[in-house]
Amino acid sequence: MSILSPKSMKAVFDSAGYLVIPSFLNPLQIDEVQRKMDEYVRDVVPHVPVKQVFYENKDRPETLKQLQDVWKHDPYFGRMFFSEQFVGLAELLLGGPVQGENLQWFNKPAQIGSPTPPHQDGYYFMLDPNEAVTMWLALDDVDEENGCVRYLPGSHKRGIRAHSRTTTIGFSQGISDYGDEDHAAEVAMHAKPGDLLVHHCLTVHRANGNTSAARSRKALGMVYFSRHAKEDLERKNEYHKKLTSELAVAGKL
C-alpha cells in the first residue's frame, strides 16, 4: 500500500494527473482475482452480449483482449467494484461522491497485443464537467516489452485534444496530433501484480503493443464518474450503436 498520506495522494494526483499505489492488493488477493477472472472467461463470457467482448482475432479465442461491464455479470466483481477500498480512493481523488460506471478487463496477448493509441478517456465518456477517474489494476508484471501504460504528466490541465478514428478494437478514437514532443514527455509505468495506477479522465495516455515472446499483459480497469458530472446519453448511445455496427461488419465481435 502507498506510504503517502491521503492529502499527499490527492496533491500528486492533482499535479500530475495520475497516481501510482504499489501493492494496492496483496498477493493472496491478486491470486483470488486471477482465479475469479479465469472462471469468468470460462463460464460467463460465452453468455454475455457480444458487444461486450473484444478479440484481436475473433476466430482465435486465445486473442481475447477486452471485456466490458464485468461487474454486471458476476457478484464477486460487483462487490469489488463498489467496495470502500476502491470507491473511497475515487472519492478522495475527485473530491466528492462518485458513481461506478464500468469494471472491465484488458489483455495484450503475447506477440499480437495491439498498441493502445494515445487518448483521453474523457473523450469517450462525454461528461460535463469532465470529472472521472480510471483505475488500472495490474494482474501481470508489466514493462516496456509487454506494453506498459505511458502517461503524459500534467496533460489533464489542458482540456480535450483533437481525436480521430483509429482501427484499434476497444479504442476507437485516438489523439490525432500526438507528436515527437509528446513522446519525449511520456512516463512509462512499470507495474507488478497488485499495483494500482489511477488517472484523471483528461490525462493523455497510451501503450505500445506486446512484443514479448510469452508474457501476457492483463489488468482490471475501473471507471468512476463524479456525481456532479452529467453524461450526454443521447450522443453516447448513438456513438456506441454506430461503433458496434462497424465492429460487427468487421468481424471483431
Whether the per-residue pLDDT at 249 is higher than 70: the answer is no
Whether the per-residue pLDDT at 253 is higher than 60: the answer is no
List domains and CATH numbers for the chain: 6-249 (2.60.120.620)
Residues 166, 144, 178: CA angle, nearest 5 degrees: 35
The answer to whether the predicted template modeling score (pTM) of the entire model surpasses 0.85 is: yes
**Mean pLDDT of all residues in 206-225:** 96
Measure the N-to-C terminal CA separation of the chain; round to a whole number of Å. Answer: 38
**Mean pLDDT of all residues in 139-163:** 97
Of residues 2 and 186, more confidence is placed in: 186
Q: Which residues of 148-158 are buried (b: 16+ CB within 10 A; e: fewer)?
A: bbbbbeebbee
Of residues 117 and 168, more confidence is placed in: 117
DSSP per-residue codes, 49-113: -GGGEEESSTT-GGGEEEE--GGGT-HHHHHHHTSHHHHHHHHHHHTS-EEEEEEEEE---TTTP
pLDDT digits (tens, 9 = 90+) for 43-59: 999 999 998 999 988 88
**Mean pLDDT of all residues in 185-209:** 98
Whether the per-residue pLDDT at 171 is higher than 80: the answer is no
Whether the per-residue pLDDT at 41 is higher than 60: the answer is yes
**Mean pLDDT of all residues in 198-204:** 98
Whether the per-residue pLDDT at 250 is higher than 60: the answer is no
Residues forming beta bridges with residue 119, ordered by sequence position: 205
